[in-house]
Structure 1
Amino acid sequence: MYRHQHDKLGSVFAYQTELAAWFKSRQHTTAATEKEDGKIRLAVLPFANLNAGPEEDYFSDGLTEEMITQITRLQPGRLVVIAHDTAMHYKTRNKPLEQMKQELGVDYVLVGKVRRAEQRVRITAQLVEVEDQTQLWAETYERDLSDILALQADIAQAIAKEIHLVLHGSESTRLSDLQRGGSRVHPAGYDAYLKARYHLHEMLPASISKSIEYFERAVQQDSKHAPAHSGLASAYALLAIAPFDMLPPHQAMPKAEAAAKRSLELDDSLPEAHTALALVHHHYHWKWKEAEVGYLRAIELNRDYAPAHLWYSWLLLVLGRNKEAVGEIEQTLVIVQESDPRRMVAVHATRAGAYYLARQYKQAVEEAEKGLELNPNHFMLHYMMGRAYALMNMNAKAIAQLKPKGIPAGEIPLLDAALGLACAVDGQREQAAKKLEALKALAKKRYVPATYFGMLYGGLGDIKQAIEWLEKACEERADGLLWLNVDPMLDGIRLLPQFKSLISRIGLAK
């Protein structure tokens, strides 16, 4: 496998088997089929680091991602750019172009080399047509690091010309402004920004926290760099929601909101910033309309931006709009199959969640099993299978799924709470009570959402305590409350007056 999120939390980055499955599916796509949609497919291969050691990889990897972002904006809808993390699969693999075409279905590849010396950067870039392995264009650029965005715009403009893209007026204006030096960066700030992106891609709790440190350093050095603010917003939002649950929402979400709004003040065309702000509305303010508007705006800006599609589908599920959610999930599947296979497991997990909420438990299990074939350690797949098995009265299987190998107790509080609930449903009250006490002890060391205590007390039949903890969760705006109106586990108590009052407070009464 290559760089991935977390063996235990579930990979955001694909396992090699996941990529292999996707590559195999690509081999059955004929060249004629590839051209039927009229799209052009391009891969930006990881830029080679010509500096002394691997400690500079963050810089070359970061510039690769930045180029992908720039090129993706050229003509959305017609140009498909292979996502960063799929492209990184080729970093240490010298595969022939014929194999890349077979695996990725691309028409062109951009290859490059990067060397940095103090505040100067040199990039050599080549655009190659894969079909006949013709080099269409090559150029070497050397600039001050402060002019790196102008350099990226020059490369993007050259690519657009070579592959005959027609740029819309706003995109042409944006590139021209960058080329004229309209958005110079602070060298130290930009360096911190690339380090932050490098850590954020690891998607581990510790690495996300590290990314925040570098994002904050980046915005201190360059307060007008919009992508640094949007990255900071994403990082803070992620730490406040499941499965990470690392920071209380009242600590993390206001910071995420402020960073997202600042990013949009500087550049309202960034899908990540709109998505981050939508996450805050969705998971913290419970402003469903504003969240939906934000996700849809991100998708409008980049219809292939998979994170916005996935988060939007979860919002639709929260609101009980299952048919729309399924449509959004299927659209996301098309996107990830085409350009971003690292998210295939996340799509399986979302599909399993949709089946679970629709009370189609057998289908939820089957969908989760498909995902586990690609990544056997994906946390959310085990979680969804455990919940589904519990509602199928297959308690032994539920408990087994909620105790995946290699995950120590306390690492994922949501999993511990779900396991305790499954034990309670199975009549193992002593084990459930032990889980409850263990969570209380854990809460003295780190944040544990009050929702999880309400879940366990409910499983133990103490409805009074369950409601009290859910009231606390409402005060802290805990992430898990979003599901009160739709989670099948709560069907038995949903009509209680106290419960209906809670649902109303969250804004889900309808």
Structure 2
Amino acid sequence: MPGTSLKFEDIQLDLSSYQLRRNGSVIKLERIPMELLILLAGRNGQLVSREEIIEKLWGKDVFVDSEHGVNTAVRKVRNALQDDPENPRFIETVVGKGYRFVAPLATLPEEQAFLGTSNGYSSNFKKFVLLGACVLAALSLGAYLGVRYFWPAGTAGDGRSMLAVLPFENLTGDPDQEYFSDGMTEEMIATLGRAGNQSLGVIARTSSMRYKNSGKGVEEIGRELRVDYVLEGSVRLSGSRVRVTAQLIKVRDQSHLWAENYDLEIKDILGLQTDISKALTYFQDSVQRDPGFARGWASIALSYELLEYVHAMSPRESHPYALAAADRATQLDAFSAEGHLAMAYIHEHYEWNWEGADRELAQALRLDPNYELARQWLSYGLLRRGDTEGALLEMRRAFVLDPLSPRVNITLAQRLDRADRHQEAIRQMQQAIDLEPGNPVAHFELARLYVNQKEFETGAEEELRALELDNKPDLADQLKSSWKEHGAENAYKQLERQLVYVQLHDLQKRIGRGEYVSPADNAWTYARLRDPGNTLLWLKRAFDEHASLLLELRDPGFDFVRDTPQFQVLARQVAMPGLSAASH
């Protein structure tokens, strides 16, 4: 397909600006339908099978409702082109086979193609994003096939080979171009994660990006991340040309298994556009500018869900926004793992629809087996059902995908503790602290683990570190004094009780100021005081609000009220699988 713009009848498909126009006016078309149109037009007159469409637009080995996905994309293209499927002028259906683009095409010269294009869409940023999308497919295929060709049984516990995509180096000499090299890294991780299926594990972005400008060698990085292979690359931009270099390295002997350079002109952009991951604060802005950005909608849904989960927003307030965004994401892209994960949260946390949550979560992991957050949520779901070993197994898989994330390390330590592997839990929490020494939460958790093992001196030391890091000098001094006078065990217990009363006082002040306070916060606080009346009162209010706390009813912290009639009524109403059983 020569040139940068195609014309059929009064419609212009501008590949450089990724726009569809009729008589100079832009026709809105979402990403997947636009890619389908480019694919069909690029094969003008040829049959393109449904299987090829799925592979080109979503990738191989994706288990989704392909009939719905392809049909929806075709329908949206036809609506945009005002094409009649019964008497097609542009897209012809070959029943049982696929589709064919049948309109005569004319190629416009480059300077004419840019007439009428808005400055925003013709910016260097948009061009570079599009260009990156073109080379991603080739890079991903080369890296994936390189690993598949050379791999032995992998180092992961389930036999998979593990791959880390290191941050692509920006060789442009312009720090302002970091967004492009970072975007290439993030999209490569996402693309390979989807392509790897059950045979290849890809380290998550959180861990990989820690090595940006680290100066560490492949052997050291491979050892720290426990991977078999490393993909490293660089990006160099010069005027309208870009060179992307990538090489696949085997960690064990640092041999180069595969390497490739890609030199392209901006005007050669013909194919796919991929969404670059944006910071959470930009998701709202991104979907306003591009309502067809499915990942942006999914991230908005996940953000509202997170706000509810950390008790910053009530379920009644967050649920409508989360549901609308998640529904929009899955409508735009039925193959969005993020969209299905967001929908799983809604089914589980808001609706207590356990079967629906399991179905959506399984779909998210089928679409992206290397989706660390989905693995962690699966672990959480198994834990709430009382399957501590299954929860631990899934959390270990999440850890393999993101071993340098303090959050993942802390959660794995908690899973180990729930599975009665207490010494392993202590070692894992220490590893989390090594990654982020200034995190008071990890020190508080480590103190709790030590105290539960009757190691009171060590536990009190960790508690003291946590208080100092949490900017609580008065309580730290009090702990020191009480420790000296009454011993570590009594000092720790007295301080923990005082911390609970401080928290309860803060909650009451917030309520007095008219702020939202989740009933979950009060329920947990009274549970720590072993106050059955107030604990059950606030559990009932949490139930009325559909707070996420109701998924925690198996937690050992509620054992002291588990046999009460009030608790049993709540358990029956929530109807969570396995809830009637004891917590341990």
TM over 0.5: yes
Q: CA deviation at 1:316?
A: 0.9
Structure 1 distance, partners of 2:462, 2:257, is: 54
Provide the residue aligned with 1:64 in structure 2.
Answer: 185
Does the 8 Å contact 1:126/1:138 carry over to 2?
yes
The equivalent position to 1:285 in structure 2, one of 351, 354, 369, is 351
**1:271 Cα deviation from its structure 2 partner:** 2.1
Matched length: 400
Q: Structure 1's 79 and 442: CA in aligned 2 closer, same or farther, altered over 3 A? A: same
Q: Which residue of 1 aligns with 2:563?
A: 495
Q: Offset at 1:65?
A: 0.6
AA aligned opposite 2:317: Q
2:299 to 222, 228, 231: 231
Larger Rg: 2
Residue aligning to 1:353: 414
2:314 aligned residue: 248
Contact 2:247 2:260 in 1 (8 A): yes
Q: In structure 1, the residue corresponding to 2:313 is in which secondary structure?
A: coil
Residues 116/66 of structure 1: CA separation in 2 closer, same or farther (3 Å cut): farther
> Cα distance, 1:278 vs. partner?
1.7
Question: Are 2:195 and 1:74 aligned?
Answer: yes
Counterpart of 1:138 in structure 2 is 261
- The structural deviation recorded for 1:465 is 2.7
Amino acid at match of 1:368: M
Q: CA deviation at 1:215?
A: 0.9
Asked if 1:87 is matched to 2:208, the reply is yes
Partner of 1:315: 381
* Residue deviations 1:366-396 (CA, integer Å, cap 9, x gap): 5434433444344554454455566667788
Matched with 2:469 is 406
Match of 1:36 among 145, 153, 161: 153
Pair 1:294 & 2:294 matched: no
Q: Deviations over 1:343-375 (max 9, x none)?
A: 4x4454334323444566666445434433444
1:109 corresponding residue in structure 2: 231
The residue identity in structure 2 corresponding to 1:137 is: E
Q: Does residue 452 of the first structure (1) align with residue 452 of the second (2)?
A: no
* CA 128–445 in structure 1, closer or farther in 2 if over 3 Å, else same: farther
Q: Is the 8 A contact 2:166 2:233 kept in 1?
A: yes
Check the 8 A contact 1:357/1:487 in 2, yes or no. Answer: no
Gaps of 5+ in 2: 1-149, 473-489
From the superposition, tell whether residues 446 and 57 of structure 1 become closer, same or farther in structure 2 (CA, over 3 Å).
Answer: farther
CA shift for structure 1 position 312: 0.7
Q: Which residue of 2 aligns with 1:127?
A: 246
Kept in 2: contact 1:399–1:423 (CA 8 A): no
Residue among 310, 314, 335 paired with 1:269: 335
- For the residue of structure 2 that corresponds to 1:341, the secondary structure is coil
Query: Could you tell me how far apart the structure 1 residues matched to 2:187 and 2:532 are?
Result: 52
Contact 2:460 2:492 survives alignment (8 Å): no
Q: SS of 1:286's equivalent? A: coil
More deviation, 35-44/259-268: 35-44
Structure 1 residue 219 and structure 2 residue 287: aligned?
yes
**Distance in 2 of aligned mates of 1:428 and 1:108:** 46
Q: Which has the higher helix share?
A: 1
Find the residue that maps to 1:74 and give its secondary structure: helix
TM-score by length of 1: 0.66
The alignment's TM-score, normalised by the length of structure 2, stands at 0.58
Structure-2 residue corresponding to 1:376: 437
* Shift of residue 447, structure 1, vs aligned partner: 4.1
- Residue 561 of structure 2 aligns to a residue whose secondary structure is coil
Unaligned runs of 5+ in 1: 1-32, 151-178, 200-210, 410-421
| CA distance in 2 between partners of 1:73 and 1:99 (Å) | 26
3-state SS of 1:349 partner = helix
Q: Write the mapping of 1:197-208 to structure 2, written as runs, cut at 5 A.
A: 197=278, 199=279
The higher relative CO (CA closer than 8 Å, separation ≥ 6) is in: 1
Call closer, same or farther: CA 1:325–1:394 in 2, change over 3 Å.
Answer: same
Q: 1:362 to 1:67 in 2, by over 3 A?
A: closer
CA distance in 1, matches of 2:360, 2:354: 10
Residue identity matched to 1:74: A
